[in-house]
Structure 1
Amino acid sequence: MNPHATVTRAFEAALGNDSEDALDTGASLLAADPAADAELDRRGREFLTRSWRGGWQPADLARLVRRDLDGVHLVLLDRLAREETSGYEGLPHRWPEQLAELRAEAASAGSSPGPDRFSAATAALELYRFLGTLPRVEPVGPAPGEKLPPPVAGEPKMLARIRALLAKAEATPYPEEAEALSAKAQELMARQGVDEAVLAARRPAKDVPSACRIGVDAPYETAKAVLLDAVARANRCRAVWNSGYGFSTVVGFESDLEAVELLHTSLLVQATTAMTRAEAAQRKGGRKRTKSFRQSFLASYAHRIGDRLTAVSEQVASESGEFLPVLAAREVAVQGRTDELFPQTVSTRVRGVNDLAGWEEGAEAADRAALGPGRERIERGRPGR
């Protein structure tokens, strides 16, 4: 048989029709022709190349495959991604780390593409069918093979200090200590942002805003997106949530983006830990409504954390005096880039915030002060353009 013809016939049968019978037909054709394996892999790498050029990155695809498919597809995605990216001289910023995380996740999945040729072919066609349905999304950086910006310098000492503070905040069993450490981390982030802005203003080549994507996973994804939005705004960035594909795009200057990624991850860990403890105490008191408690807890936590982080950032900015115009100019640039990437956004609200105990516990976890209930508004991007 002709390998090219075999794969073409299999694709015509399986990828143009979403029925199980069509999938079985395509897998049977591939299973009967071992000579077609190399061509099948080559076509898979083409699917990935189109995905990269359509704005998707390895972490995006890994998150969606994990959510909508299975471990065998994650293993296959990892192998194809490593093969497809191996031919480039250099990869965009964040890509090596994303590929390494995909490699580790695929290894922990412990699933081969299938115990027999038919199962392996079925998994490949399922993955390719899935990749073929993805729309273009807003690009947050160059794709492999495109011109790369100057390399990003190694982690600044300030970020290393911030990382250490947040690690301590995550580890301590004392809420007051965790809050103090998080507040100190935010202060350092705010001061670093001011320093970076001043240095950038003095350089001949001006920095421009860039963007990154951060996963926002279920459950309670709306409240988690609010938390990310609060962290982003406190650090002179903007976050736009894509609920359909489970991520937020954060726009800002590079040093601020790294701070947002770091702080958001830490606060989410701290929020989850505090929520679990509070929920356990509520259960001891005879409560059984956990979903509304958790949703209200996380919404309140995000709301109050936003207030606290913004207050710290505003205090640092007010001390900057003569550099306020520089900071203001960067904020305008960030908003302009956000509007360019997302000319159309809609607002959404956190629904189900109706548990007073959850709201009060979330506010206390944020900064030990009671706060009346409310609803947070965030921007949400449409699933593709």
Structure 2
Amino acid sequence: MEPVIDQAFAAALYSDDDSGLDTGASLLAADPASDAELLRRGEEFVRRAWDRGWLPADLVRLVRRELDEHAAGLAAGLIGSEVRRYEVLPPRWQAQLDELPAPPPTGRPDRFSYASALLALHRLLLRLPAIEPVGPPPGALRDALHLPPAHDEPRMLTRIRALLAKAEATGFPEEAEALTTKAQELMARHSIDEALLAARTHSGSAPGACRIGLDAPYETAKAILLDAVASANRCRAVWNSDLGFSTVVGFEPDLEAVELLHTSLLVQGTAAMTRAEAGQRAGGRKRTKTFRQSFLMAYAQRLGARLADGTARATAEAAAEGAVPGASAPGAGLLPVLAARDVAVTGAAEKMFPETTTTRVRGATDLDGWTHGTAAADRARMGGSTPEIPG
């Protein structure tokens, strides 16, 4: 006779309707002996996801998006059990594991609901598409992972994190502007220093990639903001709207800058939007969706121009200082180094995504939202004492 778990899987995992889930859950609820095998197979589905290019944060984000928070907790439990098999994890994995939601309590008073939730999760994991890998899967040898020896975070990144945290926490726009400006200056100079060091030591470092989630609502505006941050930091961003993330391609110091700055600017922008929206409501306004959409679109567009300007200025200042010892003229060695890295990043992005398309975004329709979003971007301006962009 076919094992109960195989009967349950045949009913639930290969059908599209909920009746199959109910049939499978009923079979498993009546057979407590199948619990261990049910979890083991879930871990196997997770392991297959790694081979298809998925990372822990990707999985949990998709599960939360397609199912619910409870299912996200179940997925986190499976991930935690599966990764205990590995002595070495790829870069970025531990940080993602540390941020996973807590698994649900182990008690299962309602066996049918528990089995139904797990089967829905298994069905989703089974049908995951293959996506572009942004690093090797876990379990690879240390040499294959290209892991450097363990070391503490560079002091510069620690300072940048502290500045951005203060910018997010303050309620004073001028203070947030000054803190974020200083953080951007440090990021730009850190990137230039790392590029020059790699060129002098002939390290042979190559561009890598990371994925950044872009959750609803207003994911289009968030993707535009991320693209602006990535471009300003010599990276390329490719948005997958169906799966809710962008893949950013660049050199490691620049990827770290993109992750830090995008997160901080999104926090600052959301806080500014909330304050502006409260003022609109106090004035009797009722509709808020178009205001928010227009606010974030304006915020992203204006920041894109400001970030690009800040990067150009930081590069010019470094070149004027004669950042490359032994160069025939100030900047004579810096600009070719940066140009070579731009070419490498573009080549890596085109290799990873040989076919991309452009998409038409919905325009901003709320003048008040656009005006407030532009002002918020001006307050979060990057790179020192740049004059405001004329309206």
1:351 pairs with 358, 362, 370, which one? 362
**Correspondence for 1:188:** 186
2:115 pairs with 118, 121, 126, which one? 121
- Give CA deviations for 1:52-80 in whole Å, capped at 9, x if unaligned: 10011110111111122123322221221
Does the CA contact (< 8 Å) of 2:9 and 2:24 recur in 1? yes
| Deviation at residue 114 of structure 1 after TM alignment | 4.6
Cα distance change on mapping 1:71 and 1:364 into 2, 3 Å: closer
Distance in 2 (CA, whole Å) between partners of 1:113 and 1:227 is 43
**Correspondence for 1:93:** 91
Does the CA contact (< 8 Å) of 1:113 and 1:119 recur in 2? no
Instruction: Report 1:92-241 matches (<5 A).
Output: 92-102=90-100, 105-106=101-102, 114-146=108-140, 147-151=144-148, 153-241=151-239
**Correspondence for 1:334:** 345
Using the size of structure 1 for normalisation, the TM-score is: 0.91
1:366 pairs with 377, 384, 387, which one? 377
Structure 2 unmatched runs, 5+: 320-330, 380-387
**Correspondence for 1:22:** 20
Q: Which moved more, 1:139-148 or 1:209-218?
A: 139-148
Does the CA contact (< 8 Å) of 1:364 and 1:370 recur in 2? no
Distance in 2 (CA, whole Å) between partners of 1:241 and 1:164 is 29
**Equivalent AA in structure 1 for residue 161 of structure 2:** R
Distance in 2 (CA, whole Å) between partners of 1:174 and 1:307 is 23
Does the CA contact (< 8 Å) of 2:91 and 2:147 recur in 1? no
| Deviation at residue 198 of structure 1 after TM alignment | 0.5
Does the CA contact (< 8 Å) of 1:75 and 1:113 recur in 2? no
Distance in 1 (CA, whole Å) between partners of 2:223 and 2:302 is 14
| Deviation at residue 316 of structure 1 after TM alignment | 1.4
Using the size of structure 2 for normalisation, the TM-score is: 0.89
**Equivalent AA in structure 2 for residue 116 of structure 1:** D
**Equivalent AA in structure 2 for residue 60 of structure 1:** D
| Deviation at residue 113 of structure 1 after TM alignment | 7.8
| Deviation at residue 237 of structure 1 after TM alignment | 0.7
- Give CA deviations for 1:243-264 in whole Å, capped at 9, x if unaligned: 1111111111111111111111
| Deviation at residue 112 of structure 1 after TM alignment | 5.4
Q: Which moved more, 1:29-38 or 1:206-215?
A: 29-38
Distance in 2 (CA, whole Å) between partners of 1:71 and 1:218 is 15
**Equivalent AA in structure 2 for residue 64 of structure 1:** L
Distance in 2 (CA, whole Å) between partners of 1:365 and 1:25 is 53
**Equivalent AA in structure 2 for residue 198 of structure 1:** L
Cα distance change on mapping 1:197 and 1:17 into 2, 3 Å: same
Distance in 1 (CA, whole Å) between partners of 2:371 and 2:107 is 48
- Give CA deviations for 1:8-47 in whole Å, capped at 9, x if unaligned: 2211111111222211211122222222222211111110
SS in structure 2 of the partner of residue 347 of structure 1: coil
**Correspondence for 1:383:** none
Distance in 2 (CA, whole Å) between partners of 1:62 and 1:113 is 22
Distance in 2 (CA, whole Å) between partners of 1:371 and 1:63 is 39
SS in structure 2 of the partner of residue 211 of structure 1: strand
1:305 pairs with 279, 303, 306, which one? 303
Does the CA contact (< 8 Å) of 1:183 and 1:312 recur in 2? no
Does the CA contact (< 8 Å) of 1:293 and 1:355 recur in 2? yes
Instruction: Report 1:50-89 matches (<5 A).
Output: 50-89=48-87
| Deviation at residue 111 of structure 1 after TM alignment | 5.6
Alignment length (residue pairs): 366
